[in-house]
Chain A
Amino acid sequence: MVRGGAARHAGGVLQRILRLPFSVTVLKDLAYLTLGQITGALGFALLFVGPLTGAILLITIVGIPILLASLWLTREFCNLERRRGALAGVPIAVSRRRWGDGGWLSRLGRALADPMTWRELSWLILAFGVTLGCFVAAVTVWAVALGFLAAPLWMWAIPDGVDFGLFTVDRLWEMFVIMVALGPLSLVVAAWFARGCTLVQALLARALLAGDEQERIQELTVSRAGAVDAAAAELRRIERDLHDGAQARLVALAMDIGMAREAIERDPEQAAALLERSHDDAKTALQELRDLARGIHPAILADRGLDAAVSALAARCPVACTVDVELPRELPAAVESAAYFTVAEALTNVAKHSGAARCSVLGRIDDGQLRIEVRDDGGGGVDARRGTGISGLRGRVEALDGRLTVDSPAGGGTTLRAELPCGS
């Protein structure tokens, strides 16, 4: 049994080795290496145009904003590099660290004190050589492999044959022998060689560009503060809604009933009218309390899931709304509710401010991320930093390690996009 298992295991390994050239990994590796050689050169150029120029210009005051901007650019560029890692199967979390608010000088100070800044700069230096080397080596080996495989095709180009020392290959059938004997082997070697080059580069990138714990802690601190703010704002909103809504309604109701009670002997007709109004007020108060409860945690979300809850929101929206949502039932509750309130807030804004004629809601799971998009064809020009609604949502989304973006060019409609990791 054990030996059989070992044999099967060895067979499995062999199979994996032989299968690589025919897998999609080969294409991904080649794409990774090709892209890498381009980004490597671009990054090297960026290093000279950006940080180095900025540093030299520091002798004058203009150097400060230029250097700061170039460090920011470096970070964003390295974020592209981090994303490129996904092609190699070595994804690196993008960096969202901030150097705070305040004056340019203090921000620059924090940027320079940030170890990741220096690691990113060293990646720009190293990447140029590493990516070029990896690319050239992998392409050379692949060229040889393809050369062997296509041997009979280029026979015409070497009328004198190829001298291998012991023998000379100068006939067509000999070329076929080369193709059959060396072709498949070289193909496997080339694929694994490219894999190796890819991993060398990707692991080096990870060693330099992967965020350290400190950054993660900083990120968590910011997002937690955001969550606390969002929760406090939410409580204030609930208090306001109660104060202006149900509570006021109940005061009016009590007043009308009080007046009715006093009038019942003296003026039964007036008392009846007052009671009728009280009855309406009581029903409205119920409705308002129900709406408020839904604003805290909608029952439909718990009962029927996000898909149905979003459809219900769209149905209530006064602007024509199409829903295209394909989501599994089992999402983490916090993600579900953040997504729900994102859609709710977005649709409220669409109805209140956008002047849109139609809007759409899109919901998908991509790569373990829940992506929610609400798009309208209204006036645009929404400033995401203004308005408590959106910043409240952002706090909520970032608390879950998500991202909220608002794209709203003036006159070009508004797209609100939330990405929430859902750990699946």
Chain B
Amino acid sequence: MRIVIAEDLVLLRDGLARLLEAHGHAVVAAVGDGPSLVAAVVEHRPDVAIVDVRLPPSQRDEGLRAALEARHEVPGTPVLVLSQYVEESYAAELLDSEQSRAGVGVGYLLKDRVADPSDFVAQVERVAEGGTAIDAEVVAQLLARRRADDPLEGLTPRERDVLKLMAQGLSNAAIAGELVVTEGAVEKHVTSIFGKLGLHTSPGGNLRVLAVLAWLRHDGAG
């Protein structure tokens, strides 16, 4: 895969490049601020862009802004946003963009996830292939919201586990691997969850993930 990295701290930028190259990917550009990210994406048309939320000059959510802009310039560019701390609203902004809804890969992960290089690279690859990677902490934040008459209360513990992994963007096979059950068992849980939450069962893949996330974010109205 050809990857563009935007991260202002040289230490982490070099580390990320090393990590990705060790796993056989090519880092075609590594930049340190928002405008250079947009330029690099336009120039290299990478398979995925990995972007730090906080970039100079504003040091606020410049990275997120730049990622959305880059995707506007080069439609269909998958974006994985990294952050020192996760904030559900950032994830919402990414997921709400038109292209995410149209199935362009999107991810929002805690920076700490690089501590497990293989898992991290797997998530980068998933986003590059048009999938979704949402940090477990974001999902936890979403699940922690209390709703009146909460349909989540009706889920069995196992179904909750499946829901969490599904919301993070894992496929049925990956969920089955994670929970050490068969894929068929996962499929049954998924059907049951969709029934309890009142969602239409979609064929699977990324649209299913987005439907679940939308449901979680919009108080079950999605």
Contact = CB atoms under 8 A, between A and B. Distances in A.
A404 B16 CA distance: 45
A255 B19 contact: yes
B202 interface: no
Given A243-B84, A244-B9, A248-B12, A254 B115 contact: yes
B111 A251 contact: yes
A249 interface: yes
Contact of A252 (B11, B116, B118): B11
B114 interface: yes
A263 B19 CA distance: 12
Contact of B114 (A244, A254, A262): A254
Contact of B54 (A243, A255, A263): A243
A244 B116 CA distance: 21
B187 to A, nearest CB: 31
Contacts of A190: none
Contacts of B59: 240
A95 interface: no
Contacts of A248: 9, 11-12, 84
Contacts of B112: 251, 254
Interface string A253-264: 011111100110
Interface in B71-130: 84, 111-112, 114-118
A349 interface: no
Contact of B12 (A251, A259, A262, A263): A251
Looking at chain A, what size class is its interface with the partner chain?
10 to 19
Contact of B15 (A243, A255, A262, A263): A255
Given A243-B54, A247-B84, A251-B115, A259 B19 contact: yes
B117 A252 contact: no
B114 A258 contact: yes
Given A243-B54, A243-B84, A247-B84, A255 B114 contact: yes
11 contacts: A248-B11, A249-B11, A251-B112, A251-B114, A251-B115, A254-B112, A255-B15, A255-B19, A255-B114, A256-B15, A259-B117
A248 B112 CA distance: 9
Nearest to A240: B59
A280 to B, nearest CB: 11
B180 interface: no
Contacts of A255: 15-16, 19, 114-115, 117
A244 B16 CA distance: 16
B15 A258 contact: no
Nearest to B18: A259
Contacts of B144: none
Interface string B8-26: 0101100110110010000
Contacts of A247: 84
Contacts of A249: 11
B182 to A, nearest CB: 28
A359 B196 CA distance: 73
Interface in A241-284: 243-244, 247-249, 251-252, 254-259, 262-263
Contacts of B117: 255, 258-259, 262
Nearest to A248: B9
A255 B118 CA distance: 10
A278 to B, nearest CB: 11
Interface string A24-47: 000000000000000000000000
B18 to A, nearest CB: 8
A-B residue pairs, 7 tightest by C-beta: A254-B115, A255-B114, A252-B15, A258-B117, A258-B115, A248-B9, A259-B117
Nearest to A254: B115
A262 B11 CA distance: 21
A263 B115 CA distance: 13
Contacts of A258: 114-117
Contacts of A262: 117-118
A352 B19 CA distance: 35
Contacts of A257: 115
Interface in B1-56: 9, 11-12, 15-16, 18-19, 22, 54
A255 B11 CA distance: 11
Contacts of B114: 251, 254-255, 258
A243 B19 CA distance: 21
Given A254-B114, A259-B22, 11 more contacts: A248-B11, A248-B84, A251-B12, A251-B112, A251-B114, A251-B115, A252-B12, A256-B15, A259-B18, A259-B19, A262-B117
Contacts of B16: 255
Interface string B114-153: 1111100000000000000000000000000000000000
B23 to A, nearest CB: 9
Contacts of A240: 59
Nearest to B116: A258
Nearest to B59: A240
A254 B115 CA distance: 5
A256 B84 CA distance: 17
A252 B117 CA distance: 11
Interface string A86-121: 000000000000000000000000000000000000
Q: Which of A247, A248, A249, A255 has the most CB of B within 10 A?
A: A255
Contacts of B22: 259, 263
